[in-house]
Structure 1
């Protein structure tokens, strides 16, 4: 074969005569540095000199990140024509990588099926392509086929199949099966693979499995700790995340940027300012205070701790600020209702930084009428007027400044049909200002109302005492296949309580259990306890209470009220004492509930003891309702003089209810005395 003559390649201006081996080697040099243009020109020269590329040459070219799909298809045709595609797995595997980079799933699958020779790398790349494009089922089927071939699996095989698992309901069982296969193949000690599996368990919300696997890791690294700490933060367990961070430090592991971001977010969630400052000191010692990700987390933490001076200081220490950093600072200032967000937005624009919808939203949150109108003009100029998130913030800004009509007209201007989120915001404002008719009328214009829209209409009808309409709306919502949420159920349960509809309330309880809200929503459970108690089914009230895992002061108050209403004053007192044993300090409503239970049951001494301890033991000064319970109880028991002493000792004038109870008690006592006198004569 004659030498190949090349012209103007690289820095040469004279013809270059290369032998075949040299020519192939020269082609690989631009491929390795990613210079597709030079590599392609050299290939064209080679083809013009009747040189055929080898599988190494083609695979090198196909592996170039900047190679276009069109060029790749030409190389595929060349490999098929030259027989290199069927010769071994090199060219086909590189071709799969190209298709994967460009998202050409069909082409990748066809090429994979056409390959005569497949290496383990070939299988792994195809698995990864399927997983990254969301074809989890196809990825699992292909992995099964790979296992059946009997080829020894690699770390890449497991990483590829695990990377697509994110669904808690469908993928958890499969993850556990892969875990077993990993152990069988001897990969249970592979730290990178174990980290990947921990991450999958976390995505599938299997925190117990993730923590157990983490504890079994023979030599965990920073990635393992970061994964588990971040998972604890995102699953609502920031305190445990901080404890893990302390354990990590004790083991001598150096935290990374990801570690600090997770624990700073934990401190923000807990509003633990002291702990956050301590971690900030560790950030400085580790030299991360100028890092944009860690610095932004600190900006957000101090902003949520209402310390904008420290937040701004952390912002200034970030060397290369990005749009997230600016937005975090702007959001912090917007919560203070200051003009700083507007000033920061102007500064961003002056420095040539890009702004986004979050920048506008933060600026609009605390803007005055004048600034709102100025921002309105700017966002129109920048093409954000039809962006729903910005539109919602703009509507809120106009409404906050008392310009609801202007907000409404703007919403109608930007769209032929009413946008959903801004419409819900305007309806919510109508609802909060007791304009219930306007709420219902406005939302009736929506073409496709969502759950929030239905909730607002139901709430408006309930607040205007149109209870039958509420029940009809809930039925229409069910027919329209709109999924109710906890706010929906709360509204309907309140209506059931008002109407004393035990049958409907019980049916609603069953529906709540089907939607999985029952097990975790304390507010719904509290509403169920109240509904059953006021509808006379005390057994169901107690059952709901006992099944709850997260009880708050409202929960105990609801149960004590239910027991008192249904004639169980002694049990109500017992539960009140149990509540105190759980270190829950009674509030004014809890004390009123237990006093009411004593009032219904005629327990004078018990009620007086609690009443006298209100200021000293509970730190709560008696209010009108508390005085009414005591006066009514004493009056009904005929202790008029004691009732009169209570009234005269009140620090404020008695209301009509107190006087009514006292006078009715006095009247009964007088009638009783007259009856006794008549009997004596």
Structure 2
């Protein structure tokens, strides 16, 4: 009952009560630990999930394949390759573990998202009975790393083996086309997805097409594509167009994209930063100052993660809460002094 309560509180985003119920359990088994770790992963706190897994491991509770699949997902979200490798070692050495395809797919996903594409390829080749998730993870991994040729070749190999691609597979394929600005292939695969496989495009597919057109410099076509979509475009699509306008110096189209973004509740300071840079490049200083004023009114500090010695550290701008903050700022000051000496 208490484990179910942890799951319930997690589903409504109440992590404080979920953790409180967990702490109140007189005995904790692998299921209760897994539910709590999943709660933090599902609520976008992978850093805490990995810390909990370490505590679970030190408490001599053996994880099962579900626990490991969940914590590998947290590693993928954070890019925590060293932790992921440690978990892979635990999997190899645990003879009693049920090493199912879902676990291997989670490992593959972790390696591709953490940047170790070569280890991912070795793992992929060693998986005997691959499903659509296995193929999709590898295709997407190649696409993320700009290896479009390998991604598209693997997609052809996948379809030749009669594995039917799903909507996520086509995200990887379209990403691959985008990275090499191959507009014709991108349009071909988009049409094939819709008309041959009968897959209804999601916003992610539309986003890949807009990104492809923008990278190729077809900004007007990208704008027309957004306006002709059967669903209303989200802020990400207009933001993609705005970013491309900044690179190409298209001020009129940029102003239109910025105007569209103003319609959304999610009005980010970064949009004004891009717009301000465009105005500055054109020498329109009065509009540059107006956008600068808007930035200062609502800037929210960003968050960064860095893995040091298999430990995940979280930072925000002007952070003073880290336990080694004084030492970190001292090193930064020394680095700044060294740079000034070189100048």
Q: TM-score, normalised by structure 2?
A: 0.70
Indicate how the Cα distance of structure 1 residues 482 and 235 shifts in structure 2: closer, same or farther if over 3 A, else same.
Answer: farther
Residue 252 of structure 2 is aligned to residue 339 of structure 1: yes
Structure 2 contact 239–261 (Cα < 8 Å) conserved = no
1:176 is matched with 88
Matched, 1:480 2:329: no
Residues 268-294 of structure 1, C-alpha deviations (whole Å, 9 max, x = no match)? 211233433432342232234653321
CA contact (8 A) 1:105 1:130 kept: yes
Q: By how many angstroms is 1:142 displaced?
A: 0.7
Corresponding position of 2:183: 273
Larger RCO (CA under 8 A, 6+ residues apart) = 2
Query: Is 1:248 aligned to 2:161, yes or no?
Result: no
2:215 to 290, 301, 304: 304
CA RMSD of aligned residues (A): 4.0
Deviation readout 1:83-118 (Å, 9 max, x if unpaired): xxxxxxxx2112222343455556544533442455
Residue 206 of structure 2 corresponds to residue 295 of structure 1: yes
Tell me the equivalent position of 1:145. 59
Question: How do 1:145-544 residues align onto structure 2 when only pairs under 5 Å count?
Answer: 145=59, 147=61, 154-165=64-75, 166-168=78-80, 170-181=82-93, 184-188=95-99, 190-284=100-194, 285-288=196-199, 290-308=201-219, 310-312=221-223, 314-316=225-227, 318-323=229-234, 324-329=236-241, 335=248, 337=250, 339-343=252-256, 354=264, 356-357=266-267, 387=269, 389-404=270-285, 407=288, 411=292, 480-482=333-335
CA deviations on 1:198-245 (whole Å, 9 max, x unpaired) are 122233333222222211222211211221222222233233222222
Paired residues of 1:257 and 1:293 also in contact (CA < 8 A): no
CA, structure 1 residues 240+481, in 2 after alignment: closer, same or farther (shift >3 Å)? farther
Counterparts in 2 of 1:310 and 1:221: CA distance versus 1, 3 Å: farther
Query: Displacement, 1:169?
Result: 5.5
Instruction: Tell whether the 8 Å contact from 2:81 to 2:114 is kept in structure 1 after alignment.
Output: yes
Q: State the secondary structure of the residue aligned to 1:306.
A: coil
Give unpaired runs (5+ residues) of structure 2: 302-317, 319-329
CA distances 1:252-307 after superposition (whole Å, capped 9, x unpaired)? 22222222222222222112334334323422322346533212211221232233
Counterparts of 1:28-47 in structure 2, within 5 Å, are: none
Cα drift, residue 171 of structure 1 = 0.7
Provide, for residues 465-491 of structure 1, a one-character-per-residue CA deviation record: whole Å limited to 9, x for no partner: xxxxxxxxxxxx97714479xxx79x9
- For 1:538-562, what per-residue CA distance to the aligned partner results, in whole angstroms no more than 9, with x for missing partners? xxxxxxxxxxxxxxxxxxxxxxxxx
Structure 1 residue matching 2:74: 3-state secondary structure: coil
CA displacement 1:347-376 (0-9 Å, x = unmatched): 787xxx526547xxxxxxxxxxxxxxxxxx
